[in-house]
Amino acid sequence: MQGVLTMLKVLLDAEDDPNSMSPATTDLRRAHAPAASQGWSRLPAEYAIPASAPSLEQSREYCRRLARTHYENFSVATCFLPKNLRQDFLNVYAYCRISDDLGDEVGDPVASLALLDEWQTELDACYAGSPRHPVFVALAETVRKFEIPKHEFSDLLIAFRQDQTVTRFETFNDVLAYCRYSANPVGHLVLYLCGYRDAERQQLSDYTCTALQLANFWQDVSVDYNKGRIYLPLEDLRSYSVTEKDIQQNCNTPAFCEMMKFEVERARQWFARGLPLIGKVNKELAVDLELFSRGGQEILNAIERQGFAVLGRRPVISRTRKLALVARAALGKLL
């Protein structure tokens, strides 16, 4: 799980109440009632909330199947997890995967907000002991076992809700505030599953998760623009005399490339801040953290290799380099 994906300044400023709503969000909420059924119809049928809860074993298998049929990178990552933790990681992954899809794959902000509200209701039921969706039936076991606070899950939903109304960020601090909800909770969840609950490790994890989110943003400038979103701070566009039209027309001007060089270096600084976490966890988790951290830094290296010209040409990590990263992680596991 990379952090996942990416808010209204008023809602995400560290000094503001993250549960407050902008007028735009409030207007969308009023249209929720008829939207939920339409929203579910645009997603895989198995995502829908059933009338009655499945068994615990059926729910576990649901989460395993979801991971197998979605992203191969998570399947690779689970190979490095301790066997006794794999099901719990799969349960958390299933929650994050569907949450992200509710926000990003429906194609209708009103419907997405309606579905995210229903998903929040299921999360509340999970903590109250009465969930119906298989993800939450399985997740309830994980929550009880590791005593995970509910806000670590609901914070992600704050980010996905605000994706429906926010498409621009004025300052870099606004982007960081967004990462606080869209990326950092995932790192906290990993730490909880591995037995760590302290603020020091969570802060170091936040640096790494934010860096991963930034690397993903800088890699996907054109992809995100085609979805109507720009995660590059508007203040930086102005500072480097880059226009939104440049992004729209895939114009990798010298000014744009210079700006991206600056953004890449900034992301590298966040990776560097998070690296001490690797030395503060057990060896098995350290290998996984190094794998993901190096993978994120490889994205930044790929951006640099093509001269920071990311518009219209998404930087990718070569298959050879991916295999080298996995091989290094496997060797670290053996040693």
The more confident residue out of 126 and 106 is: 126
Closest listed residue to residue 161, CA positions, set 228, 123, 227, 111? 111
Please give the Cα distance from 263 to 267 (Å, whole number): 6
Joined together, the tokens standing for residue 103 give: 């926000």
Joined together, the tokens standing for residue 266 give: 């900034």
For residue 35, what pLDDT is reported?
73
Residue 72 has pLDDT above 60, yes or no: no
pTM for the model stands at 0.84
Report the share of the chain in percent with pLDDT over 90.
Answer: 70
* Cα–chain center distance at 70: 15
Closest listed residue to residue 296, CA positions, set 276, 267, 319, 273? 267
Closest listed residue to residue 171, CA positions, set 5, 1, 7? 7
For residue 83, what pLDDT is reported?
82
Question: What residue has token string 């229903």?
Answer: 118
Least confident of 24-28, 82-86, 217-221: 24-28
Calculate Rg over the CA atoms of the chain. Answer: 20
Let me know: does 289 contact 208? Beta carbons within 8 Å.
Answer: yes
Residue 316 has pLDDT above 70, yes or no: yes
Mean pLDDT score, 242-266? 98
Longest dimension (CA), the chain: 58
Q: Would you place residue 320 in the very low, low, confident or very high pLDDT band (cuts 50, 70, 90)? A: confident
For residue 325, what pLDDT is reported?
64
Question: What residue has token string 């001007």?
Answer: 253
* Cα–chain center distance at 309: 24
Beta strands in the chain (DSSP E): none
Instruction: Label residue 141 exposed, middle or buried (CB < 10 Å: 0-12, 13-18, 19+).
Output: middle
Please give the Cα distance from 151 to 182 (Å, whole number): 12
